[in-house]
Amino acid sequence: MHNVSANGANIPALGFGTFRMPDADVHRILPQALKLGFRHVDTAQIYKNEAAVGDVIANSGIARSDIFLTTKVWVDRVGHQAFIASVDESLQKLKTDHVDLLLLHWPQSEMPLADRIGALNELRQAGKVKNIGISNFSTALMAEAVKLSDAPIVNNQIEYHPYLDQTKVLGEASRTGVSVTAYYLMADGAVPKDEALKDIGATHGKTAAQVVLRWAVQQKDVIALSKTATESRLPENFEIFDFELSEEEMAAIHKLARPDGRIVSPGHLAPEWDQ
C-alpha cells in the first residue's frame, strides 16, 4: 500500500471506516482488519464507537505510531471550551494522547468557521492532533478554511463514488495541496451490482467493489475508505494494490457519474454543493 502525502501528512491510501458500526462489530472486525494490514482507521464523535476503536488499537499489539487514526468533531461542539473538551474526551475514549488527523465533520455549525479552525490550530499546537482537516466541504468553503488556518489543511473527506462527479472539489484540493478521502465508495450497495463495473473487474479477476476501491486510490492524492462488518470481505477490500486500471477503464468509470448521484446531503448540515 502507498501513502498519500499532503501538506506534510503521510496518509495510508486505504483506510478502514467505522461509520454505523456498533461496538460489538468494531471489537469483532477491526482486530482482523489490523491483522490483515490495515493501518488507517477512521472514526468520529457522532459514530459513538471511539471507545471501542480505542480498545482494539490499544490491544492490537501494533505500535500506536504505526496506525494513522482519524476522528471528527461533531457540529454541536459550540464554543471554544466545549470544542476543546470534546476532543479531550475523544482522546480519552481512543486511549491515545493524539490523533493523526482531526476533521470538522460538517461545515454547518452555530460556531463560526473561523473559531472552529482556530480551535483545530490550538489543538495541533498542543500536540493533541498531528494534522487538521475538514469533511463535506465545498470548493468555496475549502478555500475559506485554507485561508483561515495557520496550519495546513491536509484533507477534505467527501462522498465520492463513480456516480458522483467530484472534479471541482478534486481540482480545488489539488490547487491547495489538500488530499481527498472518499467515503461511500460503494454508493449504498449500487457498486457491487453494477454490470459495467463487474465487466471491468472480470478482466482483472477482481470484483466490482475492488475495481472502485482501486479507481479511487489510483487517482492522485485520493484516499479510499472501505468498510465491512463481514470478515470474509476484508481481504477483498485490502487486495487492491496488485492490479492497475487502464486509462480507458478509469475514464469509463468516471463516465458513470450522473447529476442525481449524490446520496448524502442532510439539509441541516450540508453546504451549497458545487454544481
Rounded CA gap, 100 and 70, in Å?
6
Are β-strands 14-17 and 101-104 bridged in parallel, bridged antiparallel, or unpaired?
A: unpaired
Neighbouring-strand partners of residue 17: 42
Annotated binding site: 105
Give the DSSP H/E element, type plus range, for residue 195: helix 195-204
Is residue 95 within 8 A of residue 58, CB to CB? The reply is yes
Annotated binding site for substrate: 105
Distance of CA 244 to the CA centre of its chain: 22
- 76 is written with which cell numbers? 454541536
Amino acid at 86: S
Contact residues for 114 (Cβ-Cβ < 8 A; gap 6+): 148
Catalytic residues: 47
Alpha helices by DSSP H, listed for 76-189, are 80-94, 113-125, 139-148, 167-176
Rounded CA gap, 174 and 100, in Å?
21
